[in-house]
A = this chain, B = another copy of it.
Amino acid sequence: MSGSLAGAEKAGQPVPLAILCGSGAFPLEVAAKAAEAGRAPFLIGIVGSTDAAIEAYPHVWLRMGEVGKLFAALKELSIRDIVLVGAMTRPELTDLRLDWGAVRRAADLARLFRKGDNGLLVGLAAILEGEGVRVVGAHEVAPQLLAPMGPLGSRAPSAEDEADIALAAELLAALSRFDMGQGAVVAGERVLAVEAAEGTDAMLARVAEMRANGRLRLKGPAGVLVKTPKAGQELRLDMPAIGFNTVAGAARASVRGIAVAAGRVLVAERTRCVREADAAGLFIAGFGR
């Protein structure tokens, strides 16, 4: 907690925390954990992306590009901290509904559209911080969401799984500097799939399809889904995450388990994930560098 917030804490006021919510249920879980930790969540929904369930909390809806409206809301509520949570569809510049606050920052916004997803978020964070809003990581307000070292459920990786995990981790490290996906599926030290713009769920669906159509002729559960951050990735902004969808997709792809970089990947809905993984015979495990 920064010094600037100490006054509010001393006065017994919950310190407000803005959560800019991408799609999915994860922003709500972060809000719940942050509330448990004594923060007062204020949720910012993106029209067309964010789940309407955010309306259970104090909230505001914005359209992509309504940057002025965002800053006005933060200022009105004296919010100094913001978390960016969940997937955001990368918009085309011409799709944005730019308000005056956005036009004033047009040069900064234009720069966001030159690079990959990481560039988009880093640029957005720079704009926020340029206005005196501190961008904090979901894991900073809710560290209990981070994957720990070792197995989470009742199964653990075998020695062969460990070899697949090591190869996938090496592959993902080699891909780091290309600002792209953070996942791969490796089976028997063979790379079956690499994630780029399609995301982890679509990559797992592809593995399931290759098994179903005979392109991959594997008997029984095979391979591991591995997720890591990019080297040097700004974890405050864009920490990789797994959740129930990931476990369900991994089960459909008939992998043996899911391995994530311990302390550097978020696990959404952990209880539900572990129950599903145990039922499907999958391991979920955190691994070290």
Q: Which residues of A contact B (CB under 8 A)?
A: 89-92, 94-95, 114-116, 167, 170-171, 174-175, 177-181, 184, 188-199, 202, 206, 210, 214-219
Contact = CB atoms under 8 A, between A and B. Distances in A.
A92 B206 CA distance: 20
Nearest to A193: B196
A129 B286 CA distance: 45
B197 A196 contact: no
Contacts of A206: 198, 202, 206
Copies of the chain in the assembly: 2
A87 B192 CA distance: 16
Contacts of A188: 114
Contacts of A198: 193, 206, 210, 215
B174 A197 contact: no
A202 B191 CA distance: 16
B171 A217 contact: no
8 contacts: A89-B214, A89-B217, A92-B219, A174-B175, A174-B177, A191-B196, A192-B196, A193-B198
A125 to B, nearest CB: 19
Contacts of A199: 215
